[in-house]
Structure 1
Amino acid sequence: MAIETVRIERDSLGEVEVPAEALYGAQTARAVRNFPISGLRPHPDLIVATAQVKLAAARVNHRAGRLTDEQARAIEQAAQEIIDGLWHEHFVVDPYQAGAGTSHNMNTNEVIANRANEILGGRRGEYKPVHPNDHVNLGQSSNDVIPTAGRLALLRATPKLIEAFRKLADAFCQKAQEFGNLTKTGRTHLQDAVPIRLGDEFTGYGAALRRAADRIAEARLALTEINLGATALGTGINAFPGYRAQVAEELSRITGFPLRPARNTFEITQSHADFAHLSGAIRNAALEVIRIASDIRLLGSGPRAGLGEIILPPVQPGSSIMPGKVNPSIAEMVNMVAFQVVGYDHAVSLGVLSGQLDLNVWTPLIVYNLLWATDILTNALEVFRTRCVEGIQANEKRLAELAHGSIALATILTPRIGYLRAAEIAKKAWETGKTVREVVVEEGVLSPEEADEILDPVKMALPQDPDANQC
C-alpha cells in the first residue's frame, strides 16, 4: 500500500495540500508557497517566544473557563515541548512574509493544535478537539501576539550581546594595564600629535564599549511593556475583562521577565518606537566597534611600512600571491559584521516609520533584523576578544622610536618660548630630519640637560588627572 505523502486540509479559501507528516496546516502551507523568498526560517528565539505566548494564553483562558481541562492540558504540553526545543523544524515560514506576522502566528497555532490533538489521540489535520484559531489563538490576534513574541525574543537574546560587549571591554582594560607605561605618539587628523600612553588609548576603547553595553541594556528595558490582550487594534475584542493583566502576569512567570501590560494599547499597537530605540542602541554600539576595530587595524599596520605600534596575533595567511603576508583578518571580519548591523538598523528604521493608522504591519522585518543583528554582533565580539584583542602585543621599540622622533613634542615649548617660535622649531626639525631635541639644543633654546627634562615624551604623556580616566 502506497504511503500518502500529502494530506488535504481546508481553510477559508478552500482545499490545500499539506505534507502528510507536517505538524503545520493549511495556512502555513499557503505561506510556504506564497513566500519562497530567502530560504531562511524563523529565528529560534522567536519560535520559543511565540510558544510562550500561547502557553500563557492557554493557562489564562483555562482559568476563565474558556478552554476545557482536556484542551488546556494538551495545548500547554504542546507549547512546552516547543519551548524545550522540539518541533522547530515545523516552523517553516520565511521571515519575509505577509504583514503583521499572521503567517508565523498561524504556523505556531497549527503546530500546537496538531501536536495537542496527537497528545489526545487524534490525527494531524483533523483539529478536534483543539482548533488552531478557536482554541490556540483564543482571545488573540497576530497584532498582539507577534509584537509581544518579538519583544520576548529580544529580551532573551540581548543579554548575550550585552555580556559580549562587557567582556570585550574587560579585555581592552586588561591590555590597558599591561600597556600602561608605554608611551607613543598620539594622532589627530591622522597626523602626529602630543604623546599619549598606549594604555590610556586602550582605556578609551574599554570605556566606550562599556557605555555601549549600558545603552543597549537601558533600551532593552522598554521591551517589557507588552500589548498582549490588545488583540486586533487595541480594543481587546474577543478577549475578556482583566485578561491583559492576567496574561502579562502569567507570561512573566513563564519567561522570568518583569512584563507589564501596555499603558496605552492603541499607542503600542500603532508604534514600534521601542524597537527603534533598541535598534539605535545596537547601531550606535556597532559604530563604536567599527571605529575601534579600524584603529586596531591601523595601529597594527606594517610590519615595516605602516605604524606597527602593536602586533596582532596571526590567525591565517593573508595573501594567495604574496608570501609571508599576514592580514588583520579578525578586525576586518568585525568591521564587516558591524557594517551589516548598521544596515539592519536602517531596515528597522524604515519598518518603524512605515506604520500606518492603527497598526504597524512590518513587525516580521523589524524583529528578524534585530534578532540577527544581535546574533552576528555577539558572535563577532566574542571572536574579536578571543582571537585578536587578548593576544595583542606592544611593539615597544617602534613605540619609543616614533614617540621620541615626533615633531609634536614642540608643543611643550609654547609656554616657554611662544607658539610661533615653537612652530619654527617644529618646521626646522621636519625640514632637516632632526629631532626637536636636536634643534633646540643646536639653537641654544635649551641646554642638553633641560632638553632631556622638558622634551621627555614619557612625562608629557602622563594624564593631569589620572583618576578621571578609569577603564
Structure 2
Amino acid sequence: MNTRSEYDLLGNMDVPSEAFYGIQTLRAAQNFSITGVPISHFPELIKALAMVKAAAARTNQDMNLLSKEKADAIVLACQDLILGKYHDQFIVDVIQGGAGTSTNMNANEVIANIALEKLGHEKGEYKYLHPNDDVNRSQSTNDAYPTAACLGIQFAADNFVPSLASLKKSLEMKGKEFAHIVKMGRTQLQDAVPMTLGQEFEAFAVTLGEDIDRISEACALLCEVNLGGTAIGTGINTSEGYAKSVVEKLATISTKPLVPASNLVEATSDMGAFVFFSGILKRLAIKLSKMSNDLRLLSSGPRTGLGEINLPPMQPGSSIMPGKVNPVIPEAMNQTAYQVIASDLAVTLAAEAGQLQLNAMEPMIIYNLLNSLKMLKEACQMLEKRCINGITANESKCADHVENSIGIITALVPHIGYSNASRIANTALHTGNTVKALVIEENLLTEEQVNLLLSPESMLSPSKITLSSAEKASSDTQAPAKKKAASDKKVTAKKDKL
C-alpha cells in the first residue's frame, strides 16, 4: 500500500496515500474501536460539520483572516460533503474520548485534503492549506462539534418525521375503515364498555400526532448554538463580531433559524437541549411500544385469544409448531422502543457527567440521539408497510364479544340503578346468561328499551337517547315489586302444600 508521511504532536505516521483523512484521524481510528459504527453511518452529522466549516471559512474571509482562494477551496470541499461525497473517509468510531476532537479533526483533515486537490496540490501538502490553521480557524471542537450536532439532529429529525406522519395517516385510514365495527373496550385486561375498532385506531393516530408537534418544539431548542465560543465560551482566538456573523451564515447555509446562545460559556457546557430531545424520543418510543402491545393482544389467537384483528402474516412463526404465525413486526417495534428508552438513560448519564466548562461525553449523547432517530425511522416504516396497512378486522368475533360481555350493563346503570346492575352482572357471570336476557327476564326494562339503550348510538358516545320519566319510574319500581309478588306467591304455595 502506498503511503504518505504526516506529522503531529506525537510524531510521524504513515497514512494511506489515497486517504483524504490524515494522521489524527488515523490515530483515533486505531484508538477507538468500540461500536464498530463510524461517523459515516450518520450522513446528517457529516453534512452538518461541512456546513459549520463552510460558514466559518466565509466569515474568516470577510474578516480578512483567510484568503479568498483558501476560503473558496474549503467551501467547495464542504459542498462535496453536503452532497454526500467522500463520506467513506469519515472512519472514526462515533464513541470516542476527547469530547469529539477526533470527529472534528476527521472533518478538518478530509476537507483540507479535498481542498488541496482543488487547488492543484497533493494530499498532505498542508503548507498550502492546513486542517487546523485554515479549516479550523476561529473554531474549537468545543463549539464546532456541538453546533454540528444540533444541526445534524435536526436534519435526522427532518428525515424521521415524514415516516411518523405517514404511520399516523395509515392509522387514521384504519380508523375510518373500522368505524362501523363495535367491539368491547377493556381496562386492566377486563371487559369495560363498548367502543368501535375505529375509535381504537383513531386513538393510536392521535397519540402519535402529538409527538410530531413535540419533536418540532425540541428542534427549536437546538437552534440556539454556541458557535463562536471556541474552547470554553469566551471566544478566544476569534475576532469581534465573529460569533454573530458565523451563526448568521450557518443559518443561511442550513436553512435553520439558528441564533447565538445568549451566554456562550453556559451553552458550551450545558446539554439541556439534548436531554430534552432525548426525552421526547423516549416518550414516543413508549407510545409506539404500547401500541404494539395492543396490536399483539388484539390479534392474539387465532382461536384461543382475543382475535379481534388479523395482522398480515409475514413469516412462519415456529420451527416446531406447524401453522404458527407470530406478530413479528410489532415485536420488532417493541425492541426498537426498548433500545430508544435505554439510549435516553445513556444520554441522561452522559449529560450529568459534564464537569466545569465542558462535557466530555458529548459523543455518547450525539451517537444515541442520531441512532435513536435512525432506528425509529426504519421501525415506523416497517410497522406501517408490513403491519398496519394489512390489518383486517374479525367483525363476527368483535360482535360476539359485545353480545356476551357483562360490561355492557354499564349502559343500563342510569336506568336500572347500580345495585340492580351489579346483581345482574354477577348473575350473568355465574350462569352464562346474557345481560340483555336477564334484564328483560326480570322486567327491569322492556326488550325495546334494552335494544335502544344498548344500540351503538347510545353506547359509543354521550347519548342523546333518553327514556321518558314515566318509563324510568316504572322501570325503577316494577322489578322489586314483581320480585316481592313472586316471593309472596312462593310462600303462599308452600303454606298451602303444608
TM-score surpassing 0.5? yes
Task: Measure, in 1, the Cα distance between the counterparts of 2:33 and 2:197.
Answer: 52
Tell me the residue number matched to 2:31.
34
Larger radius of gyration: 2
Output the CA distance in 1 between the equivalents of 2:4 and 2:80: 24
Rounded Cα–Cα distance in structure 2 between residues aligned with 1:169 and 1:134: 49
The DSSP-based 3-state class of the residue aligned with 1:10 is strand
CA separation of 1:420 and 1:136: change in aligned 2, threshold 3 A: same
The one-letter code of the counterpart of 2:141 is S
Structure 1 position 134 matched with structure 2 position 126 = no
Partner of 1:183: 182
Q: Is the 8 A contact 1:195 1:460 kept in 2?
A: no
Alignment of 1:18 with 2:15, yes or no, is: yes
Equivalences for residues 54-453 of structure 1 within 5 A: 54-453=53-452
Give the equivalent residue in structure 1 for 2:457.
459
Quick one: distance in 2 between partners of 1:234 and 1:44? Answer: 27
User: Shift of the alpha carbon at 1:198?
Assistant: 1.3
Deviation, 1:465, is 8.2
SS in structure 2 opposite 1:228? coil
Which residue in the other structure is 2:49 paired with?
50
CA distance in 2, matches of 1:372, 1:197: 37
User: What is the letter of the counterpart of residue 237 of structure 1?
Assistant: I
Q: What is the letter of the counterpart of residue 244 of structure 1?
A: A
Deviates more, 1:441-450 or 1:148-157: 441-450
What's the CA shift string for 1:91-135, capped at 9, x where partnerless? 111011123100010111111112222222222222121011111
CA–CA distance in 1 between the matches of 2:382 and 2:159? Answer: 14
How far apart are 1:240 and its partner, in Å?
Answer: 0.7
2:3 pairs, out of 6, 24, 31, with 6
* Larger RCO (CA under 8 A, 6+ residues apart): 1
Report the Cα distance in structure 2 between the residues aligned to 1:447 and 1:21, rounded to whole angstroms.
89
Please say if residues 310 and 392 of structure 2, whose CA atoms lie closer than 8 Å, have aligned partners that are also in contact: yes
Letter in structure 1 aligned against 2:369:
L
For structure 1, which runs of at least 5 residues remain unmatched after alignment? 467-471
Partner SS state of residue 99, structure 2: helix
C-alpha contact 2:229 2:235 (8 A) present in aligned 1: yes
- Tell me by how many angstroms 1:10 deviates: 0.9
| d(CA) in 2 for partners of 1:453, 1:259 | 60
Identity %: 47
Look up the match of 1:469: none
Distance 1:256 1:231 in 2: 23
Task: Give the whole-Å Cα distance in 1 for the aligned partners of 2:417 and 2:314.
Answer: 49
Matches of 1:37 and 1:261 in 2, distance apart?
34
Aligned-partner SS, 1:99: coil
The separation in 2 between residues aligned to 1:120 and 1:440, in whole angstroms, is: 91
* Matched residue SS, 1:319: coil
Separation of aligned partners in 2, 1:435 and 1:372: 53
CA distance in 2, matches of 1:389, 1:306: 20
- Aligned-partner Cα distance in 1 for 2:458–2:303: 27
Aligned-residue RMSD, C-alpha: 1.5
AA in 2 matched with 1:46: L
Q: Deviations over 1:271-328 (max 9, x none)?
A: 0100111111111011111111111111111110010111111122222222211211
Query: Any conservation in 2 of the 1:6–1:20 contact (CA below 8 Å)?
Result: yes
SS in 2 for 1:345: helix
Q: Residues of 2 paired with 1:83 and 1:106: CA distance?
A: 17
What is the CA-CA distance between 1:7 and the residue it aligns to? 2.3
TM-score for the superposition, normalised by structure 1:
0.95
On the 8 A contact 1:122/1:128 being kept in 2, the answer is no
Q: Give ranges in structure 2 of 5+ residues lacking alignment.
A: 465-498
TM superposition shift of 1:5: 2.7
Residue identity matched to 1:400: A
State the distance in 2 between where 1:441 and 1:85 align: 73
